[in-house]
Amino acid sequence: MPELPEVETICVGLEKWIVGARIATVSYDTEKSFPNAPQDTEQFLLGATIAAVRRRAKVLLVELSSGYTLMIHLKMTGQLVYIGAAAPSQTTQPRFGAGHPNDSLVGELPDKSTRVIFEFDDGGHLYFNDQRKFGWIKLYPSSALADNPLLSAFGPEPLDKDTTAQMLFDRLQRRKNTTIKAALLDQTVVAGIGNIYADESLWGACIHPSTRVRDLDTKHVQKLFSEIQQVLALSIEKGGSTDKNYVNVEGKRGSYIDFARVFRREGLACPRCGTLIQKLRVAGRGTHVCPLCQRAP
């Protein structure tokens, strides 16, 4: 579920709501939700203030005043939802039920998917919900993040202004013999792309997902990189994609799916040429293509 635009949206939401807040209590359901929590985790969490929230690839980094950082991966079904103290203030009241009927996907929290709860001194709560239990929260000393193997292996951030198509091309050379779809999903090639934005970008660049990386020249990769940037930027603007259960920190859906050109549109007309969009399996994933615009290799 959450790919770069969704995690970015959550990151911005967390910055707004929890930076400066002081952690009063932390509770979690199982070891798996908080895998490397040491016995004395609480001493690095309780009483700590949220200093900053950042994103790298699909990982959230919540920096604490205690010198530790929470790394959070939402995997397929993770949610981070903040509910302020039930005070009359407009900035801290619970936000469920506002707006359109379909605006919010979450009800009363905690619910049965809630795995971790952070309670803040001001009465606010941050809920980590995760239906499929793939997601996790880990605690690391902030000083150890620079050489954290997970973080250092990530490829370039596609929306960083220093990232270039040439960098993508170079990184792709390590996956020359696989399909471009598999390569885009490889977080060490480029960070933050998942199934939705891989399909959308490849459609934009008129490249079939089964195309071997070795068959793409620099022109193809330039076009692809440009499409990746546009698709991700548009999705961030739309608050991300809610297909099943993604919600932002306020519990609200994103609307990128309404603007998708191929993803989840099998049997509908390609917006470019009108040919019916097909769903295939590439790199073991459901994959959407226009068979005319994206000619099979």
Partner DNA sequence: CACTTGACCTGTCCGC
Partner DNA sequence: TGCGGACAGGTCAAGT
Residue 5 CA to residue 191 CA, distance in Å, equals: 11
C-alpha distances out from residue 128 to 27, 61, 151, 210, Å: 10, 14, 21, 36
Task: Single out the segment in contact with DNA by CB under 7 A; choices: 21-29, 115-123, 138-146, 282-290.
Answer: 282-290
Pick between residue 63 and residue 186 the one whose CB is nearest to DNA: 186
Total residues found in the chain within this entry = 297
The binding track of 28-67 with respect to DNA, each residue x by CB under 7 A or -, is ----x------------------------xx---------
Task: Single out the segment in contact with DNA by CB under 7 A; choices: 19-27, 68-76, 139-147, 270-278.
Answer: 68-76
Pick between residue 88 and residue 107 the one whose CB is nearest to DNA: 107
* Cα dihedral: 119, 251, 254, 248 (round 10): 0
Minimum CB distance to DNA, residue 192 (Å): 8
In the list 226, 285, 291, 292, the residue contacting DNA (rule: CB under 7 A) is 285
Picking from 117, 293, 134, 151, the residue whose alpha carbon sits closest to that of residue 211 is 293
The binding track of 3-32 with respect to DNA, each residue x by CB under 7 A or -, is x--x-------------------------x
In the list 101, 267, 274, 284, the residue contacting DNA (rule: CB under 7 A) is 284
Question: Which residues from 169-228 bind DNA, rule CB under 7 A?
Answer: 174-179, 182, 185, 187, 194-196
The token duo for 113 is 């998917």
Clarify whether 3 is annotated catalytic.
Answer: yes
Minimum CB distance to DNA, residue 20 (Å): 28
Dihedral (CA of 54, 60, 63, 68) sign: negative
Minimum CB distance to DNA, residue 181 (Å): 9
Clarify whether 58 is annotated catalytic.
Answer: yes
Coil, helix or strand at residue 93: coil
In the list 114, 242, 248, 294, the residue contacting DNA (rule: CB under 7 A) is 242
Catalytic-labelled residue, pool 55, 58, 175, 238: 58
Picking from 74, 25, 23, the residue whose alpha carbon sits closest to that of residue 51 is 23
Pick between residue 19 and residue 280 the one whose CB is nearest to DNA: 280
Where are the extended beta strands (E) located within the chain?
23-28, 50-56, 59-64, 68-73, 78-83, 114-120, 125-130, 136-141, 278-282, 285-289
Q: How many residues bind DNA (CB under 7 A)?
A: 39
In the list 241, 262, 270, 293, the residue contacting DNA (rule: CB under 7 A) is 241
DSSP 134: -
Picking from 174, 209, 207, the residue whose alpha carbon sits closest to that of residue 188 is 174
CB 139 within 8 A of CB 118: no
Clarify whether 2 is annotated catalytic.
Answer: yes
Which residues contact DNA by CB under 7 A?
1-3, 6, 32, 57-58, 73, 75-76, 112-113, 131-134, 150, 174-179, 182, 185, 187, 194-196, 241-246, 283-286
Residue positions annotated with a catalytic role: 2-3, 58, 285
